[in-house]
Amino acid sequence: MKRLSIRSPFDMHLHLRDEDMLKLVAPLSSKTFSAAIIMPNLVPPVDTKEAVISYKNRIKDAIKDDDFEPMMTLFFKPYSKEFLESVKDDIKAIKLYPAGITTNSEGGVSSIDVNELAPTLNAMADLGLPLCVHGETNGFVMDREKEFLSVYETLAKAFPKLKIIMEHITTKDATKLLDRYDNLYATITVQHLLITLDDVAGGMLKPHLFCKPIAKRYEDREALVTLATSAHPKVMFGSDSAPHPKDAKENCGCAAGVFTSPIAIQVLAELFEKHNKLENLEKFISINATNIYNLKRTNKTINLIKKDFVVPQDYRFENEIVVPMYSNETLSWSIDSIIQG
């Protein structure tokens, strides 16, 4: 029976929410990942040193004894260099959201003016703090990422020493932009490697596949798959696993977000095997992140086996119910054992 081992898997874009939802979903990531970049879009957002430390402590409490490091981020706003120096050892990056573009982003940036952003971005560059960006405009939903690419170019040119992470890229155009600037990098999600808009809304609407950025066209998905399975050194896995309560997904105002944490590694193994690229999976899910973020790998190892795994219908804690991607469906890879670091 075929087996596969992944050492020190990283999730470089993860939503853990808070309170009972945090207690439900955090252990589902900490079980199988060594570390993750934690998104700061809580209510209120994580934008002070005290908030960073407090949130990290809540995550640590939720994951108990799992070998897992929450790598914290700040919600972008104008920060002084003095403040960033005081908090740089507690965070790994700062996350910029255009205002109102996704969940809990109302306090984001209303316009990306290089002159206004310069003091903070120059300080980040000096301190080696990467800028993570949700790269969408508020235009037509299928064009939002494409329209934002010129903003990435402006930032890359204006701040050449600043490491810029294009989060959850979804388009063929974004994959082409990656190599034009030395300081541009990207994360890619599970769902954008697997689905197109047809899967979300081509037949009966599937709310648990709806996310932002929305899934795009077939040619976009194929470009992403090529980039990920070839383990391009400037891309890394970031799940953007974004849990919402079941009743917030299954209603007429469906919340945006796909919950993939419990199945991400199994699904990626299936995808990389399909494309005869299993030898590149550890690069995509571990090694590239260590190089881009200057991380140390741990000895935590996830051992997989080629054996059917039925995805649970849902996950529950107290009154919280979350439905994963591929609920009740069968995957061809299972997690056989986990060796803590």
Residues annotated as catalytic are: 240
d(C-alpha 37, C-alpha 223), whole Å: 24
Cα–Cα nearest to 168, from 290, 256, 44, 52: 256
User: What sign does the CA torsion over 262, 266, 269, 270 have?
Assistant: negative
CA-closest candidate to residue 104, choices 256, 210, 216, 214: 256
**Beta strands, E only, 78-218:** 93-96, 131-133, 164-166, 184-188
Nearest to 199 by CA among 328, 332, 325, 330: 325
Tokens of 217: 């066209």
Main-chain phi, psi angles of 133, to 5 degrees: -130, 130
User: CA 188 to CA 237: how far, in whole Å?
Assistant: 5
